[in-house]
């Protein structure tokens, strides 16, 4: 049972398959004057703090909380280690609200012990573009778990989102909650198989030696596709057109405009990489691929501390085969020193995963909407949304 989630406007397990329920908002927007004006109460030893991500000190506090307490794999061998620059990027998109960057401090020590964040986004559900909050980086210090802090934090971020007259949200989690709009599988492409095996990220396959494994995953030194290059500021209009057209086919997808593309997709060192294919004849932008940088701390390994992982972001192929485009993405990520390239089975990713030697991981990612009901779940391939 879910004592908290049962009280929230989300699809409930008991309603799965009930086709009499309409698609759309579960509860209506209310006048802003009816939104609670004061923060929710925390246990008296804690206090709310709004995190100014422009401040180096604040950003470091959030970074350190997450570095030591955020998401781990099921065997606690790896923990996400989002960089400070990444957090700044993820939390300050066009139109962001500082009030949605919410911390909890211990009153006496002033130590930051919990965090949750939202950023505004437009997400299209079927034919409707809905203003939403994307909720991410929910984290409670390891020593303060299971004290029901998370529900208070979720209610507080909900209140602050409502104050901006926004009534829906999207979020992902590794755990099952009421109720996923889809469940995606993580896939992994080894770039540095020796290190991955040494740190326990992957295992030597049956009847495989280390040298055969290294050979299996070898890649060319440079991308193959003529006209493949890094995205530049002048490409924003063409990339926006390409992406909008591509994303229009999915049941739930991001609705990117040029400002969003400029923020989310222009290359930023060690944060996000984007490449495109410019036709050598017409100079049209015909294909696009991108990935973001999210290292994980390797817990308790004497030889290595960090796993460098690239995560597939948004990709569009119109002239180049998806296979060749993503192979070029693997080649450039290998050249940049990544150990592994990760992808979900969203959008058309299924079409390249197996052939490019990705293997399924032991992790899944569940996608959720808050206060928006879908008549039935989507297939991962019907989802055009990647959260960080």
Residues that bind ligand JJ1 (CB under 6 A): 71, 73-75, 77, 136, 172-174, 186, 188, 190, 201-202, 359, 361-363, 365, 387
Give the count of residues interacting with ligand MYA (CB under 6 A). 34
According to CB under 6 A, which residues from 162 to 191 bind ligand MYA?
Answer: 167-169, 171, 173, 175, 177
Determine which residue in the list 112, 161, 310, 388 makes contact with ligand MYA, applying CB under 6 A: 161
Contact between 40 and ligand MYA by CB under 6 A: the answer reads no
* Contact of residue 161 among ligand MYA, ligand JJ1, none (CB under 5-8 Å per partner type): ligand MYA
Contact string 244-273 vs ligand MYA (x = CB under 6 A):
------------------------------
Counting beta carbons within 10 angstroms of the beta carbon of residue 211, is it exposed (0 to 12), middle (13 to 18) or buried (19 or more)? exposed
Residue 32: count of CB within 10 angstroms of its CB: 11
Q: Is there a catalytic annotation at residue 388?
A: yes
Shortest Å distance, C-beta 238 to ligand JJ1: 30
Gap between the Cα atoms of 26 and 18, Å rounded: 14
Neighbours of 326 (CB within 10 A): 27
Contacts of 252 (CB under 8 A, 6+ apart): 123, 124, 125, 126, 181, 367, 369, 374, 378, 382, 383, 384, 385
Q: Which does 73 bind (CB under 5 to 8 A by kind): ligand MYA, ligand JJ1, none?
A: ligand JJ1
Alpha-carbon distance of 135 to 170, in angstroms, equals 6
Q: What is the DSSP string of 285-353?
A: EEEEEEEEE--EEETT-SS--EE-EEEE---EESSS-HHHHHHHHHHHHHHTT-SEEEEES-TTTHHHH
Q: Name the residue nearer to ligand MYA (CB basis): 102 or 242.
A: 102
Of the ranges 20-28, 135-143, 242-250, 283-291, which one interacts with ligand MYA (CB under 6 A)?
135-143
**DSSP E strand stretches across 82-148:** 101-106, 112-125, 128-140
Q: Which is nearer to ligand JJ1, 190 or 333 (CB)?
A: 190
* 363 contact, one of ligand MYA, ligand JJ1, none, CB 5-8 Å limit per kind: ligand JJ1
Residue whose CB is less far from ligand MYA, 66 or 277 = 66
Identify whether the C-beta of residue 306 lies closer than 8 Å to the C-beta of residue 253.
Answer: no
Annotated catalytic residues are 388
Q: Which residues bind ligand MYA (CB under 6 A)?
A: 2-5, 69-71, 133, 135-140, 145-151, 154, 157-158, 161, 167-169, 171, 173, 175, 177, 370-371
């Amino acid at each position: 049972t879910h004592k908290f989630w049962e009280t929230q406007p989300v699809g409930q397990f008991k309603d799965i398959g009930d086709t009499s329920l309409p698609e759309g908002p579960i509860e209506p927007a209310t006048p802003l004057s009816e939104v609670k004006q004061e923060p929710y109460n925390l246990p008296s030893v804690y206090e709310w703090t709004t995190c100014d991500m422009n401040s180096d000190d604040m950003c470091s506090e959030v970074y350190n909380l997450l570095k030591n307490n955020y998401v781990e794999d099921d065997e606690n061998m790896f923990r996400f280690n989002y960089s400070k620059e990444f957090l700044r990027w993820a939390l300050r998109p066009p139109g962001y609200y500082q009030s949605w960057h919410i911390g909890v401090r211990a009153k006496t020590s002033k130590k930051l012990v919990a965090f949750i964040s939202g950023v505004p986004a437009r997400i299209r559900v079927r034919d409707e573009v809905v203003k939403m909050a994307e909720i991410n980086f929910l984290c409670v210090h390891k020593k303060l778990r299971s004290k029901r802090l998370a529900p208070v934090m979720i209610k507080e971020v909900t209140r602050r989102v409502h104050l901006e007259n926004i009534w829906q949200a999207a979020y992902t989690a590794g755990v099952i909650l009421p109720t996923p709009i889809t469940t995606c599988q993580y896939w992994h492409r080894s770039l540095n198989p020796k290190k991955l095996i040494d740190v326990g990220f992957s295992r030597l396959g049956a009847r495989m030696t280390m040298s055969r494994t290294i050979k299996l995953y070898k890649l060319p030194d440079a991308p193959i596709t003529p006209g493949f290059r890094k995205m530049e500021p002048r490409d924003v209009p063409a990339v926006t057109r390409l992406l909008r057209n591509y994303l229009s086919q999915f049941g739930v997808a991001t609705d990117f405009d040029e400002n969003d593309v400029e923020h989310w997709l222009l290359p930023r060192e060690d944060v996000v990489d984007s490449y495109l294919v410019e036709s050598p004849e017409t100079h049209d932008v015909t294909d696009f691929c991108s990935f973001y940088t999210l290292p994980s701390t390797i817990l308790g390994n004497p030889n290595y501390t960090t796993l460098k992982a690239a995560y597939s972001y948004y990709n569009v192929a119109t002239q180049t085969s998806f296979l060749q485009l993503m192979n070029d993405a693997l080649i450039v990520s290998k050249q940049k020193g990544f150990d592994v390239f990760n992808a979900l089975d969203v959008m058309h990713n299924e079409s390249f995963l197996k052939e490019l030697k990705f293997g399924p991981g032991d992790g899944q990612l569940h996608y959720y909407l808050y206060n928006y009901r879908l008549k039935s779940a989507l297939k991962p391939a019907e989802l055009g949304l990647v959260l960080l």
